[in-house]
């Protein structure tokens, strides 16, 4: 039997948020993130304005005075909407519109996070000009009422925001950082003729990431389809994936790039959620896979987007992302694996192919999340060490001591593929040591030439006090090409300078290549090894 709970109404509760909510997010914003929120706001106002004129957003970063000013002609804020400039959750944007802002908190958090004092002046066409001032005293007060002032006319349709008493000092280099960041974030808008962003008098230039390579049989792939994150509303999805020409090994500029309503939200994403993890086709993030890039563009109602509230990251648990993820992971895995398989010759197999066509993936195939039909990847060649061991299998079986000589030569290749500042120095020492060990192995194991009763341990120790004696002992029984020995002596001198002189000499790649050829030729003559 159900019971009925008796309820007696009491005084209503005040649901107004506490102002300390502003303070809790200061650490989440830096100057770049905060200013981006303000630019987002100007773009949204401009997009929603009828009969709009060309947009100009001017940002001034005054490092001398420690003041930041942003001015736009996006349309201004009407008098009746001034409260939205400070009210958390207040927004003029419709959740169903293709806007950038939706939550109504970004610009409020941004200005408070960047500065202790904020002045906002605005003039909506047909209204007067108004100003509000946000300062530390108001933020610390429990009262939410904020005075608004009518001021002398400023240009109709404009808004001007001044940030002073900055929480973090403004550096002279911040302007250059802003030029790059805005160029990347608003690339699509900046390509529109009537949209400009200017930082300290310099126009922001669009910075795109579609620098595709077109290797034969492996051009970029594009999938265009729709998803319904809430079961009803639609988001348009456009995914392009391929190998890139603009690889930057210092910045690691590869992975997934996600745009929401034409605004870059996150770039260089290399997480498990997009396909990078141990055991996957994409594998863990690694320089070998650094030619893979996947660009995801989502367009539609702002309320359906998978971004976080500051638009600096993706909510991986969001339905929209989960619906895109199967296609995204397949493309990340395919082109990461392709990058690895072509790594031995990117120059000729990738970078020289600068022109071509992007191949389309049928929408029905991508939308359903089925396995994509992609071209078979090139066969994986055995690692160089495995190739050398296979080529010398007979010699290694008959003369097991030659295995270390073969692997040392392969190790020089491995060192060369690593991003080591002193890699050539390591390779030079390894090659020279391999040469000396090879001479020792020849003397010790060719008992048909060197009587072990004569060439006992003490005799060998005596010989190896001098490289000259070692070489002479070998060529007495096995004459080597004089040219090889002369070159070997030269690189022995280089190695000695490296070890014994006060100043460490630089080792050019040409020396490593030449010395390696010498060592390979000597190993071939002494042991019949093939390289």
Q: Which helix (H) or strand (E) holds 360?
A: strand 359-361
pLDDT band at 104 (very low <50, low <70, confident <90, very high): very low
Tell me the average pLDDT across 226-243: 94
- Does the pLDDT at position 94 exceed 60? no
Residues 85 and 150 in one domain: yes
- Residue identified by tokens 């002045």 is 119
Q: What is the pLDDT of residue 90?
A: 46
Residues 345 and 270 in one domain: yes
Q: What is the percent of the chain with per-residue pLDDT over 90, rounded to a whole number?
A: 52
Give the length of the chain: 531
Lowest pLDDT segment from 223-237, 356-370, 478-492: 478-492
What is the CATH number for 358? Answer: 3.30.230
Residues 185 and 281 in one domain: no
Within a domain: residue 13? no
Residues 85 and 143 in one domain: yes
> Which one is predicted more confidently, 278 or 76?
76
Residues 318 and 425 in one domain: no
pTM: 0.71
Q: The tokens of 442 are what?
A: 């020849």
Which residues span the domain enclosing 419?
Answer: 384-527
Within a domain: residue 271? yes
Within a domain: residue 212? no
Residues 314 and 390 in one domain: no
From the number of C-beta atoms within 10 Å of its C-beta (0-12, 13-18, 19+), residue 248 rates as exposed
**Cα 169–chain centre separation:** 27
Within a domain: residue 2? no
Closest CA to 34 of 121, 106, 133: 106
Residues 48 and 196 in one domain: yes
Are the beta carbons of 257 and 293 closer than 8 angstroms? yes
Q: The tokens of 245 are what?
A: 């020409």
Closest CA to 239 of 367, 66, 346: 367
Q: The tokens of 96 are what?
A: 């169903």
From the number of C-beta atoms within 10 Å of its C-beta (0-12, 13-18, 19+), residue 20 rates as exposed
- Which residues have a Cβ under 8 Å from the Cβ of 466 and sit 6 or more positions away? none
The string of pLDDT tens digits covering residues 461-471 is 999 888 889 89
Residues 152 and 225 in one domain: no
Residues 63 and 128 in one domain: yes
Residues 458 and 320 in one domain: no
Residues 197 and 227 in one domain: no
- Which residues have a Cβ under 8 Å from the Cβ of 148 and sit 6 or more positions away? 82, 130, 131, 132
Which one of 367, 402, 422 terminates a domain? 367
> Which one is predicted more confidently, 1 or 179?
179
Are the beta carbons of 261 and 60 closer than 8 angstroms? no
The string of pLDDT tens digits covering residues 51-72 is 778 999 999 999 999 999 999 9
Within a domain: residue 411? yes
Which one of 320, 342, 367 terminates a domain? 367
Which one of 367, 393, 423 terminates a domain? 367
Closest CA to 87 of 102, 112, 75, 104: 104
> Which one is predicted more confidently, 421 or 161?
161
Residue 405 main-chain phi, psi, to 5 deg: -65, -40
Q: What is the pLDDT of residue 21?
A: 60
Closest CA to 436 of 416, 454, 460, 414: 460
Give the three-state DSSP class for 239.
Answer: strand
Domains identified in the chain, total number: 3
Within a domain: residue 176? yes
Within a domain: residue 129? yes
The string of pLDDT tens digits covering residues 66-89 is 999 999 999 998 898 888 777 654
Residues 398 and 326 in one domain: no
- Does the pLDDT at position 106 exceed 60? no
Within a domain: residue 213? no
The string of pLDDT tens digits covering residues 295-323 is 999 999 989 999 987 888 999 999 999 99
- Does the pLDDT at position 123 exceed 70? yes
């Amino acid at each position: 039997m159900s019971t009925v709970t008796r309820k007696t109404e009491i005084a209503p509760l005040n649901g107004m948020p506490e102002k300390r909510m502003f303070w809790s997010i200061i650490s989440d914003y830096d100057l770049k993130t905060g200013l981006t929120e303000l630019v987002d706001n100007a773009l949204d106002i401009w997009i929603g304005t009828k009969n709009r004129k060309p947009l100009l957003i001017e940002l001034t970063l005054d490092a001398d005075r420690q003041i930041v000013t942003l001015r736009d002609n996006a349309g201004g804020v009407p008098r009746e909407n001034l409260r939205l400039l400070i009210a958390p959750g207040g927004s003029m944007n419709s959740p169903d519109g293709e806007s950038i802002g939706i939550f109504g908190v970004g610009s409020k958090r941004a200005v408070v996070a960047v500065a202790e004092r904020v002045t906002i002046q605005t003039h909506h066409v047909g209204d007067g000009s108004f100003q509000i001032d946000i300062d530390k005293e108001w933020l610390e007060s429990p009262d939410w009422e904020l005075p608004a002032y009518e001021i002398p006319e400023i240009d109709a349709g404009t808004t001007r925001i001044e940030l002073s008493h900055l929480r973090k000092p403004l550096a002279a280099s911040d302007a250059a950082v802003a030029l790059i960041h805005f160029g990347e974030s608003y690339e699509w808008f900046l390509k529109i003729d009537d949209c400009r962003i200017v930082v300290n008098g310099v126009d922001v230039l669009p910075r795109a990431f579609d620098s595709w390579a077109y290797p034969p049989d492996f051009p970029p792939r594009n999938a265009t389809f729709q998803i319904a994150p809430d079961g009803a509303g639609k988001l348009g999805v456009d995914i392009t994936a391929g190998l890139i020409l603009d690889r930057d090994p210092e910045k690691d500029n590869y992975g997934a790039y996600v745009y929401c309503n034409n605004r870059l939200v996150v770039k260089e994403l290399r997480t498990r959620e997009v396909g990078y993890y141990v055991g996957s086709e994409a594998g863990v993030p690694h320089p070998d896979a650094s030619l893979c890039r996947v660009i995801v563009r989502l367009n539609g109602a702002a309320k359906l987007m998978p971004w976080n509230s500051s638009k600096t990251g993706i909510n991986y648990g969001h339905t929209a992302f989960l619906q895109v993820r199967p296609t995204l992971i397949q493309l990340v895995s395919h082109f990461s694996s392709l990058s690895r398989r072509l790594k031995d010759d990117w120059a000729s197999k990738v970078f020289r192919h600068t022109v071509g066509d992007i191949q389309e993936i049928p929408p029905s195939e991508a939308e359903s999340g089925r396995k994509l039909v992609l071209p078979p990847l090139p066969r994986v060649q055995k690692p160089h060490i495995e190739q050398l061991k296979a080529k010398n299998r007979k010699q290694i079986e008959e003369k097991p001591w030659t295995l270390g000589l073969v692997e040392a030569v392969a190790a020089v290749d491995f060192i060369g593929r690593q991003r080591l500042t002193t890699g050539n120095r390591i390779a030079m020492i390894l090659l020279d040591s391999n040469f000396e060990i090879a001479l020792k192995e020849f003397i010790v194991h060719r008992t048909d030439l060197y009587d072990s009763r004569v060439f006992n341990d003490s005799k060998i120790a005596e010989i190896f006090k001098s490289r000259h004696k070692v070489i002479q002992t070998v060529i007495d029984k096995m004459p080597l090409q004089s040219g090889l020995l002369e070159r070997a002596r030269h690189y022995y001198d280089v190695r000695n300078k490296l070890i014994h002189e006060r100043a460490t000499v630089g080792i050019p790649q040409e020396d490593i290549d030449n010395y390696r050829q010498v060592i390979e030729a000597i190993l071939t003559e002494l042991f019949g090894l093939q390289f």
